[in-house]
Chains A and B, each alone.
Chain A
Amino acid sequence: MPPEAGAAPRSAERASADRIYYTLASIIGGVVGIYFLVVPVLDLNLAFHFYLMLWITMASAFNVAAGFSGYMPFGFVAFYGVGAFTTAILVKSLGFPVLLALPFSGAAGVILGLLFAPTLRLSGIYFAIVSLALAGICRLVISNMPQEITGGSFGLQLGSRAEPVHSFYVMMGVMLMALGVILWLSRSRLGKALRAVRDDAEAADMMGVNVTRVRLYGWLIAAFFPAVCGGVEAWYTNVVDTETAFNTLTTAKTVIYAVAGGLGTVTGPIVGSVVMVWLDELIWRQFPLLNLLILGVATVLLVLFLPRGIVGTLLRWRPEWRRYIP
């Protein structure tokens, strides 16, 4: 078949667009990586930056569920809590080194995701509500477990001498891994299949996409990272209890930060987290009692005026840039 007239220039154009995309991705990744690398060295606020990395990771994982796959798990904190308790129990009761416990936390998140998989066939609102209820069940089951295992109302102390800088760098590693996975996902065939299922699952089914399997893969990726985050944070703070591990505010912030940045892009959750965490810190310094109120009001304003988030609105305004911005 003779090549059409336009094929060669189109191919060159595609290659150059890809080059720009990956260059931008590398620059962003590099800046993020180097910045966080030097935070402890320059003695900047460790706690602030630790949690910034945590939220970037949580929002990015949520983006896989919501932006790429089209699910709004309002019970997202369940994965986080399960991961936190897994690490805590393994470290405290079985003497695991933390670095060995963390992959188990991730596995626990994946297992929970598998358990919740039957809910993936539910439509938008039903799924959101069920997700909320399932997280509530998780919390109640764990808080009702025997004191020796889960610490009852006092929680568990990990017992290891808390080494903040170590856990800081591990969090950085987790964050970079998450961002890498999401970058891969957004360009991969699985990513395209996910988005097709998100847009019209029945049509995707008729195009030969195995909807159930594709949804499951996306879901499990989304479940893995918050679980690991829970484990790392447990290590960082050295304590785990049901109130903080399964705090609904964790889901709230994850959702809001992800939406603020823009669902469906790699950079969206990063931008959203940076802006919102910075805003949160600013408010906290000036008006410590108003944080919660500002969060609520910010959400309402976001939905009303910037429903696609910062990056999403930018791309709406300049759609040609979609190919270049990760």
Chain B
Amino acid sequence: MDTLVLNGIVNGLIVGGIYALIGMSLTLLYGVLRVVNFAHGEFVIGGSFLAYALFSNLGLAPLLALPVAALSFFALGWGAYYVLLPRLQKSDDPEIMSFLMMYGVSIALAAVMLLIFEADSRSIDYSFRPISMKVGPIYVSTARVVAFGITIAIALALTWFLFRTLPGKALRAAIMNREAIQIVGVDVVKLSAFAFALASAIAGATGVLVALVFPAFNPFSGAEYSIIGFIVVVLGGLGNPVGALLAGILYGLAEQLATVFLPQAMAPIIGFGILVAIILIRPSGLMGWRAQR
């Protein structure tokens, strides 16, 4: 097989895994809370910057930064939920209002990162030994392989959590029917806070992985990841974590293979185009079981 195409496939899987995690956490948030988290990309990049700060100031290896990011973002998400979201549920149009609010949060977060880290692109100068590995006929950087491994691990852990544990099942039940779950006695507020915290934690951890997989990031990269998150979520069906997993990988593959055959500048257009096409043609997504209004 053509080396370029093979590279495209391998990169597509690696990048797709990241997209899948972003999509899974975003779709979880939407499914349980009906909140479209416009700031999700900023959460991710926040994780990248956290890893960067820990590495530059404390010499902490990115792999160790991962649990730090996950835990701190979990706590932040929990707090943020209680500060921001309960009021929204009472408003006339919670979905649009939450969209607007998270719009504001994304601007604020980008501004904070801009103030702390300034606008330059950053990257983490951490090298694994060996620097790259041979996968079949091609070479892939070890950092990316490691990141991919972790990505798969997190994705599987999340899936296991959602389908095999009680709190996970409660989350899925909440996605399916928010009213019914209250009737059976579940504390929806706590569950929602948990969902927000979990999604934030995954986003933060994904940010660390982003730092390992992508060459650089800056405070404005968040917006791109938010858009990718939307694409993956819509492709996979709103509120469908497994759908997001598959859609993320698929989209990663599509994006990377597209760069093999098309000029670099065209790639984002493909992404936007897919999003528009899916929403107009089949809004419930490739796998969605939640039909549009």
Main secondary structure on chain A at its contact with chain B?
helix
B240 at the interface (CB under 8 A from A): no
Cβ B268 vs Cβ A248 within 8 A:
no
Cβ A124 vs Cβ B276 within 8 A:
no
Which 10 A-B pairs give the minimum distances between C-beta atoms? A299-B104, A296-B108, A296-B107, A293-B111, A292-B111, A303-B101, A300-B104, A133-B272, A123-B293, A133-B275
B84 at the interface (CB under 8 A from A): yes
Cβ B87 vs Cβ A137 within 8 A:
no
User: Which of chain A's residues has its CB closest to B238's CB?
Assistant: A125
Q: Known contacts A129-B275, A293-B112, A299-B101; is A248 also within 8 Å of B283 by CB? A: no
B91 at the interface (CB under 8 A from A): yes
B212 at the interface (CB under 8 A from A): no
Expressed in whole angstroms, the Cα–Cα distance for A41 and B59 within the complex equals 61
Other than A130-B276, A140-B269, A298-B104, give 10 A-B pairs with Cβ distance below 8 A.
A74-B99, A119-B280, A122-B283, A290-B115, A296-B105, A300-B105, A300-B108, A304-B87, A307-B91, A307-B92
Cβ B110 vs Cβ A292 within 8 A:
yes
Expressed in whole angstroms, the Cα–Cα distance for A16 and B91 within the complex equals 34
B265 at the interface (CB under 8 A from A): yes
B258 at the interface (CB under 8 A from A): no
Min distance, Cβ B37 to any Cβ of chain A, angstroms? 11
Q: Which of A266-317 contact B (CB under 8 A)?
A: 289-290, 292-293, 295-300, 302-304, 307
Residues of A within 8 A of B283 (CB): 122, 126
B75 at the interface (CB under 8 A from A): no
Partner of A124, one of B93, B106, B111: B93
Q: Known contacts A133-B227, A133-B272, A252-B107; is A307 also within 8 Å of B97 by CB? A: yes
A164 at the interface (CB under 8 A from B): no
Residues of B within 8 A of A293 (CB): 107-108, 111-112, 115
B173 at the interface (CB under 8 A from A): no
Residues of B within 8 A of A296 (CB): 104-111
A175 at the interface (CB under 8 A from B): no
Question: In the complex, how many residue pairs between chain A and chain B have their CB atoms under 8 Å apart?
Answer: 123
Expressed in whole angstroms, the Cα–Cα distance for A292 and B100 within the complex equals 16
Which residues of B come within 8 Å of A, CB atoms?
Answer: 36, 84, 87-88, 91-93, 95-97, 99-101, 103-112, 114-115, 223, 227, 230, 234, 265-266, 268-269, 272-273, 275-276, 279-280, 283, 292-293
Q: Which of A132-156 contact B (CB under 8 A)?
A: 132-134, 136-137, 140-141, 143-144
Which residues of A come within 8 Å of B, CB atoms?
Answer: 72, 74, 118-119, 122-126, 128-130, 132-134, 136-137, 140-141, 143-144, 248, 252, 255-256, 259, 289-290, 292-293, 295-300, 302-304, 307
Residues of B within 8 A of A303 (CB): 88, 97, 100-101, 104
Residues of A within 8 A of B230 (CB): 129, 132-133
5 sampled A-B residue pairs with Cβ under 8 A:
A126-B283, A130-B280, A255-B103, A296-B108, A299-B101
Min distance, Cβ B205 to any Cβ of chain A, angstroms? 24
Expressed in whole angstroms, the Cα–Cα distance for A289 and B114 within the complex equals 9
Expressed in whole angstroms, the Cα–Cα distance for A292 and B107 within the complex equals 7
Residues of B within 8 A of A289 (CB): 115
Residues of B within 8 A of A133 (CB): 227, 230, 272, 275-276
